[in-house]
Structure 1
Amino acid sequence: MAGFQQIKIAEAIREIGADKYLIPAFQREYVWSGEQVERLFDSIMRGYPISSMLFWKVRSESAEQWMFYSFLRYFRERYNTHNAYKPTKSIGEFSAILDGQQRLTSLYLALCGEYHTHRPYKKWENTDDKFKICEFYFNLTVSQEPKNDNVEYEFLWLEKAETGSKTIYTDKFGQKWFRCKDIYPHSNNDVKAMEIQENFGLSSKETKNLALFEKRVFSEDIISFYQEDDQNPEKAVNIFIRINSGGTHLSYSDILFSYAIANWKQKDARKEINELVDFINNSKGFNISKDLVLKAFLYLYHENIKFDIGSFNNGFIENIEQQWDNIKMAFHSVFDLLGNFGFNAQTMSSNNAILPVLYYVYHKNLASSIVHGTGQKQTREVIKKYLLRATLFKPFGGSADSVLTATRKVFKKDFNGKVFFDENIDEFPLEGIEKSYKYSNTIDDDFLQDLMLYRKNSPEAFAVLSILYPNLDTKNNFHKDHLHPESKYKEYKKLMEKNKKEYYDFSMYDALPNLQLLDANENMAKNDKSLEEWVKSECGNKNKSKFLKDHLIPDVNLSLDNFDDFYEKREKLMISKLRELL
């Protein structure tokens, strides 16, 4: 029946466990932090409202048109964040959660599941030893200041290795913590807090807290929701978009993504795209999102590059599904190529810059040859130059859609989704792309001087050094290295202070005029040697002037007390070389 209704937390947990509450494809994944869950339960215990939810009662005729997913049974950072697909043919009517998914998932994980957080400084691997495996506990005693600020009732995710998964865990302060998932074996129609008191020796205050917790879960209608019975899926989506403004932000692109993949016929689109994104991020070292994949669909095949729900009609989605394997292969090849160029999450300033490369590789059928094919060497060089220059000139800043539209017109002026290149487009059109976003004439003294301010870990520093060191094999391990070692900065500062001279602050010491690119072996050999010592050891009887020229090092006194002169001279060398190369 349509309208507002109320249920108990325990009823919602039972429905989730029985897959009678499911998540529609246009919902996002679980994103709440552990602390958000802890604060949710404090609010519940204090009797605060937790906001109403929106359910959509789904009957068989609607279920067939959409894909639905089960709630998470446990959460593991990065590795178990994706909801599992749930076939709906055999489960009859069910409720799809349009608003309230994050809160309901939090309730279920706290009362039935686990929350796994990555251990700091551990390698990212999907193994138990790399994670804190936590269960949800309620502090019945509270004799110490709670870990979270401004809470009256303390709930925490505690590590199983610490608690031993005990029903009552006593910490080093003598505080007794109740494992929340154990409320179920102890609860039915009767209040069982007294039973736990007898078994575990709880004080009257601790028993009172436990009884209140049990009451909140089993006896009170805490969850309020509006149920929509209309079986028009488009209405459900529109309602969802309208009401989804609170809680953890869900962007319009998140909704579009789910809407776009909901009607794939042969493949589980969410699984396919999640696996692609995860592989590129975890195995190739980038940081892309599903938004980039969605934008790629439009950039490759749709007249309108902007995110627009009307673009994802059945014909467009059917074509994308048919082409998915080829699109996926092109993604893999392009990111392999970027990795060979030395790009990664830290050195890639805008993922949108990838789309013209993807378009060219995909529509020219170069996925199998672009990375290693001998016939594609020149194309690789042009693409690398495009990406490095795009990192410096930042064309994909404010109006990314208009810039992307302009770049695609370089490939095909009148795009129709059927023919993808004008007759004159054979090579990757670097010059045309740059003209399309009008940065090719902005290389002046101020621009080049500003480049010199970029610091070691910026994408721009990598781009400048890659342009200045074109012969370095970035396919293998390489390092951005301080010419005057980072460890010598304090010594330099003391020297200047001793001589009562002004000195560069560390932001300048860490900037481009004191940086170079070295391969891993060279960097290990240099280690923490002073610049003066390193040049002497590398040159020996060799041609010193050639060595200095190759490394763009000025022929001046290279001792630390002459750093300021070295810095100014090298800055001029780099600017002069960049003016020539750009």
Structure 2
Amino acid sequence: MGYRVTTIAETLNRINRELFIPAIQRPYVWSPEQITGLFDSLMRGYPIGALMFWDLPQGSQEDWEIYNFIYNFRHESTHNDRATLTEGQPVTLVLDGQQRLTSLIIGLKGSYTIKQKHKRKKSDDAWNEKILFIDLAASPVKDEADDEDASPVAEHYRLAFFDHDQRPQNSAGELWFEVGLVLAAEDETELEHMLHNWVDANVVLDESRRAVARANLTRLWMAIWRDDALSYFTEHSASYDRVLDIFIRANSGGSPLSRSDLLMSVITLRWEQFNARDETERLIEDLTELLSPKRALNREFVLRTALFLNDLDFSIKVQNFVPNNIRLLEQSWERVKAVLLFSARLLRSLGLCGDRLSGTNVLMLVAYYIHRRNLGCIELKIAPEDSQLIRRWIIVLGFQGLLGLQTNNTFKTYRNAVRRAVKQENSFPWEAVAEAFRGIGRPMDFNRESLARWCNTSLDNQPQAELLLSLIYADDLPNLQRRAMPAVQNRFFLPEEMRRAGVSEALAPVIQGFAGRLILSVALDSREQEDYFALSFEQWAQTLSPATMDMHCLPEDLDLYRMDRLPDWVSERRRLLEKKLAGLASANRVRSSGAEALASTQSDT
């Protein structure tokens, strides 16, 4: 068919009338700097790349999810509005060029809204709507001496976005012009009126600046109304497979589209009951709101999880998205979505969100267990003691670094172990998974080396220290309304205090080495803190009941609570911690921990 050329003004007139976006397209992602760069290229007469269209066959509108282009873009918003079409309306879909066309729309007819730093998204004053302007009085001609060190892609024209409600104030030698106003001059006569009103009648600019401004405004008008700035190829085939192949080829060479974006296009074409793009974007938003993860959740994570929960190969590669697998993903989508949201709420309730979430991969692992545990059940459930096993398991998993290397092999091993174990066990199969991990050389048990790392972790290393300390308690510390604190207050490590406590100068450095380490840490509630702050280490120990000492894994021998006996105290507590941490996999251990905590509270009361 060959390529055709056209003007920007003519193409903009077709937008959302006959030119639309197919659901296989990714959301708009360009930055304001990319937009100004695009307009600078147009002003300089540079090519901006060919576009690719597809004339949708008559009667096939219902086979496609069709969207409008965005005029007023809001940063971090990923949704285009669904197009409202009349029966028989001619429709041309943009297969390649959405980002460039949307940028032209924003610059000439729309706006770019950006969130201010340190403002909450839901706050009314958090967002600034910005409009594109050009300084007509700025000369694009550079002095050769100035150009020696300039970047070859540096902009020649002065373009910038300004707040919609705070238009730029012209300083000396400036003439800021809203770029979109050029659309009002449809012919040369109207252009001359615009030149007269904006440039010739301007008494502030000197004659040389007015000459530059007249040339720049004329160049802008030519770039929009007269230059054949856009070239495009139009496909007319009725074959979806051919069109999809064209789309993937057009968007895979030199474009930042990810593989998951391209595979999402395949799924979107073949799903019949759901719109895959809308569904995944809403799910990502919901999961992000629940977990506030350090690393962003994305389509790849959702696709991998959907494959993982269906016991399929979960690598993001084309051969895993054959028609049969795509149908299975659609049939299981409601379940996948429900399991992921349930698992995210569970993690949040356990305090494993935000900075306390070691990584998004743990969500996939938890979701698989929830799915298999509730296989055949409409309502998803998990026992409280089971959730505490999961909490502790995730903390250990992160501490031992088991999700770093060979992730796929680790995940396959985990999935196989869980699938076998849930048929025989009624709680989270910690020991079965641990045994499977040992088989691939990835032990998660607490050995001497890992116990030493646990004990030597700095209490200042939040949230890691708080999570590790919570392993010895029945629940997450905030849920228990407990605060991680050093068993020996920092003031008792001062040289004067240690001399008063009978610590020799030779022993002082050894004892000071324990300060601020997890080996000396406990989690105290507000009532326990009253005694803690009011008493010395030795006096405080005498207020503790045996049940309280057992809950905190503290030595029972009160003679060890003298500062000069602290090394012996540390040795005994290390033994108690070793015993406690070795029993984390036992469901009965979790139940007894809860009973111990309750008994401790009652006895101290």
TM-superposed deviation, 1:212: 0.8
Report sequence identity in percent: 23
Deviation of 1:229 after TM superposition, in Å, equals 2.8
Task: Read off the aligned partner of 1:12 and give its amino acid letter.
Answer: T
Determine whether 1:140 maps to 2:139. no
The question of whether the paired residues in 1 share the 8 Å contact of 2:287 and 2:341 is answered with yes
Give the one of 37, 47, 62 matched to 1:39.
37
Paired letter, 1:222: A
Q: Which residue of 2 aligns with 1:207?
A: 214
Q: CA separation of 1:173/1:358 partners in 2, compared to 1, >3 Å: closer, same or farther?
A: farther
Q: 1:130 aligns with which of 126, 132, 137?
A: 126
Query: Does the C-alpha gap of structure 1 residues 113 and 408 become closer, same or farther in structure 2, counting only changes over 3 Å?
Result: same
> In structure 2, what is the Cα distance between the partners aligned to 1:310 and 1:300?
18
Partner of 1:418: none
Which secondary structure state, in structure 2, belongs to the residue aligned with residue 161 of structure 1?
coil
Q: Residue 115 of structure 2 aligns with which residue? A: 118
2:300 to 282, 285, 291: 291
Question: Which residue matches 2:169?
Answer: 170
Report the equivalent of 1:242: 249
- Aligned equivalent of 2:400, options 387, 393, 410: 393
How far the C-alpha of 1:82 sits from its partner, in A, is 1.2
* 1:400-444 C-alpha deviation (Å, 9 max, x unpaired): 33332222222336xxxxxxx874354322223333344226755
Amino acid at match of 2:347: L
Match for 1:77 among 60, 75, 78?
A: 75
Q: Deviations over 1:543-567 (max 9, x none)?
A: 3685999498996879xxxxxx999
Deviation at 1:253, TM superposition (A): 1.2
Partner of 2:130, secondary structure, is strand
Return closer, same or farther for 1:75/1:468 CA change in 2, 3 Å cut-off. farther
User: Structure 1's 119 and 424: CA in aligned 2 closer, same or farther, altered over 3 A?
Assistant: same
Q: Does 1:429 align with 2:429?
A: yes
Change (3 A) 1:335 1:575: farther
Distance 1:386 1:124 in 2: 34
The reply on whether 1:261 has 2:261 as its aligned counterpart is no
* Structure-1 residue corresponding to 2:47: 49
Asked if structure 1 preserves the Cα contact closer than 8 Å seen for 2:112 and 2:131, the reply is yes
Change (3 A) 1:579 1:206: farther
Contact 2:135 2:158 in 1 (8 A): yes
Aligned match for 2:26, one of 17, 25, 28: 28
- Residue aligned with 2:471, SS: helix
Contact 1:370 1:380 in 2 (8 A): no
Any conservation in 2 of the 1:55–1:99 contact (CA below 8 Å)?
yes
| Amino acid paired to 2:27 | E
**Following TM superposition, by how much is the alpha carbon of 1:252 offset from its aligned partner in structure 2, in angstroms?**
0.6
Distance 1:231 1:89, change over 3 A: farther
Aligned counterpart, 1:278? 285
User: Does the 8 Å contact 2:3/2:233 carry over to 1?
Assistant: yes
- TM-score, normalization by structure 2: 0.74
Question: Does the 8 A contact of 1:411 with 1:425 survive in 2?
Answer: no
2:192 alignment partner AA: M
Q: For 1:340, which of 335, 338, 349 is the aligned residue?
A: 349
For 1:158, what is the secondary structure of its paired residue? strand
**Matched AA of 1:82:** H
1:499-537 Cα deviation digits (max 9, x unpaired) = xxxx9xxxx999978988778x799x99xxxxxx98447
1:103-502 matches, within 5 Å, as: 103-125=100-122, 128-142=124-138, 150-163=154-167, 169-172=168-171, 175-185=174-184, 187-190=185-188, 192-200=190-198, 201-202=201-202, 203-245=210-252, 249-286=256-293, 287-365=296-374, 368=379, 370=381, 376-412=383-419, 423-438=423-438, 439-440=442-443, 443-447=446-450, 452=456, 460-461=464-465, 463-468=467-472, 470-475=474-479
Distance in 1 between residues matched to 2:194 and 2:372, nearest whole Å: 67
The worse-fitting range, judged by mean Cα deviation, of 317-326 and 398-407 is 317-326
Describe the SS at the equivalent of 2:361: helix
Deviates more, 1:84-93 or 1:353-362: 84-93
Larger radius of gyration: 2
8 Å CA contact 2:488, 2:537 repeated in 1: no
CA-CA distance at 1:103 after TM superposition: 1.6
Classify 1:74/1:464 alpha carbon distance in 2 versus 1 (closer, same or farther; 3 Å). Answer: same
Q: Which runs of 5+ in 2 are unaligned?
A: 143-150, 203-209, 496-508, 583-605
**SS of structure 2 residue aligned to 1:183:** helix
Q: 1:423 to 1:441 in 2, by over 3 A?
A: closer
CA shift, 1:348, in A, is 2.0
- CA distance in structure 2 between the partners assigned to 1:511 and 1:39 by the alignment: 53
8 Å Cα contact 1:346/1:457 also seen in 2: no
Distance in 1 of aligned mates of 2:98 and 2:572? 57
Pick which of 222-231 and 474-483 moved more. Answer: 474-483
Asked if structure 2 preserves the Cα contact closer than 8 Å seen for 1:26 and 1:256, the reply is: no
Shift of 1:204: 2.3
> What displacement does 1:578 show?
6.3
Task: For residue 226 of structure 1, report the CA deviation from its aligned partner.
Answer: 3.1
CA RMSD of aligned residues (A): 4.4
Deviation, structure 1 residue 96: 2.3
241-250 or 328-337: which moved more?
241-250
Following superposition, the deviation at residue 120 of structure 1 comes to 0.9
Q: Deviations over 1:129-182 (max 9, x none)?
A: 21111111112233899xx9932112222111311xxxxx43455622211222
Q: Which amino acid aligns with 1:176?
A: L
> Does structure 1 residue 58 correspond to structure 2 residue 56?
yes
Report the alpha carbon displacement of residue 14 of structure 1 after superposing the two structures with TM. Answer: 1.8
1:404 maps to a residue whose letter is F
Q: Classify 1:333/1:72 alpha carbon distance in 2 versus 1 (closer, same or farther; 3 Å).
A: same
Q: The residue matched to 2:404 in structure 1 has which SS?
A: coil
Call closer, same or farther: CA 1:456–1:411 in 2, change over 3 Å: same
Question: What is aligned with 1:6?
Answer: 5
Cα separation, partners in 2 of 1:151 and 1:268, compared to 1, 3 Å:
same
- Contact 1:193 1:207 survives alignment (8 Å): no
* Secondary structure, aligned partner of 1:225: strand
Q: How many Å separate the matches in 2 of 1:112 and 1:580?
A: 66
Shift of residue 355, structure 1, vs aligned partner: 1.9
Aligned length: 528
Partner Cα distance (1:74, 1:510) in 2: 53
Contact 2:67–2:81 (CA under 8 A) maintained in structure 1: yes
What is the SS of the residue equivalent to 1:129?
coil
Q: Distance in 1 between matches of 2:217 and 2:56?
A: 37
**Change beyond 3 A, Cα 1:338–1:12:** same
For residues 362-404 of structure 1, what are the alpha-carbon distances to aligned partners after superposition, in whole Å with 9 as ceiling and x for unaligned?
A: 3433785646xxxx02211221122112222333334333332
SS at match of 2:195: helix
CA distance in 1 between partners of 2:326 and 2:356 (Å): 33
SS at the partner of 2:345? helix
Uncovered stretches (5+) of structure 1, i.e. residues with no partner: 164-168, 414-420, 493-502, 527-532, 559-564
Aligned partners of 1:480, 1:41: CA distance in 2, in Å? 56
Specify whether residues 175 and 512 from structure 1 end up closer, same or farther in structure 2 by C-alpha distance, changes over 3 A only: farther
In 2, Cα distance between equivalents of 1:63 and 1:455: 61
**Deviation string, structure 1 residues 326-367 (Cα, Å, up to 9, x no partner):** 433322221111011111132222222222321222343378
Rounded Cα–Cα distance in structure 2 between residues aligned with 1:572 and 1:7:
82
